[in-house]
Amino acid sequence: MTTGWTPRPPDAGHPQGEHLPELEIPPPGRQRRWTVLLRLLLLLPQLIVTALLGIAAFFVTIVGWFAALVQGRLPDGIARFLGGFLAYETRVAASAMLLVDQYPPFSFEAPGHPVRIELRPGELNRLAVLFRLVLMIPAAIVTSLLQYGWAAVCWVFWLITLVLGRMPTAAFGAVAAMARFRMRYQAYVMMLTSAYPKRLFGDAPPAAALPAQAMSSGTRPLVLGTPAKVLIVLLLVLGIVVACASPTVQVSDDDWNDSSHAPTAPATTAGSEGPETALIRTS
């Protein structure tokens, strides 16, 4: 398991171009209640930094798209930056989702942090790169629905973790599966892998006994029980409800404003706003 960004390591039995990115998170454990209580406040500087870096990553991805279209792979410099950003952003997201208690460092490299990702960049299909925006639509819809659903019930997970001092196993599995799918989607969009994001509902149970190192991991493999899978379905359903309700509420507000002859704000679409905005508008 790599602790950061390792460009093109040995094959290790996987076709490099089709290697599915992996997420390493330790099993659910005790968390300090005061850090759970103040989690978003503590992460505010991290969220600002990731937002700024995300803007840079957006433009670097555009440059990488043109380069990959010509070369059939990302240049090393672009791959290192995007891979480092994805690792850093994933650590911040895992902390915000209450998957770990340890505070993420302000660094692309974090060898001692329990949240790590494994990326093995390789050759890219130029045709798949050309139509990347079209191909990523199904995974983008699933990721958006999960984020909308999470925004609707995250306070429940926060309250449970605050009371118990740890995240229940079923909730941890569902949230970890969401975080892993989101990371794999981002890696696909950034062309850090040609493997399409998959296995939202976890991995198949291992056929043989796992080594001690794998048993200490909560996500490799990520084997989900029925309660965790039910929670994932619930997040998707809630995401659909929130996504469908947002434009309905916007139309109702506009109608009310028109009837009162008050100036109205420009209409926005559900896809152009974040889950938090959708929650505010539907409440």
What's residue 218's pLDDT?
85
What's residue 256's pLDDT?
37
What's residue 214's pLDDT?
52
CA distance 151 to 144: 11
CA distance 143 to 57: 19
First vs last Cα of the chain: how many Å apart?
43
CB 140 within 8 A of CB 147: no
Torsion from C-alpha of 144, 145, 149, 152, nearest 10 degrees: 60
What's residue 213's pLDDT?
54
Q: Which of 201, 242, 192 is nearest to 89 (CA)?
A: 192
User: Tens place of pLDDT for every residue, the chain, 283 residues?
Assistant: 343 434 333 343 444 447 899 999 999 999 999 999 999 999 999 999 999 999 999 999 999 999 999 999 999 999 999 999 999 999 999 999 999 999 999 999 998 899 999 998 889 999 999 999 999 999 999 999 999 999 999 999 999 999 999 999 999 999 999 999 999 999 999 999 999 999 999 998 887 666 655 557 888 899 999 999 999 999 999 999 999 887 654 544 454 355 444 444 433 333 334 443 333 333 3
What's residue 267's pLDDT?
38
What's residue 279's pLDDT?
33
DSSP conformational letter for 88: H
Please tell me whether the peptide bond between 221 and the residue prior to it is cis, using omega within 30 degrees of 0: yes
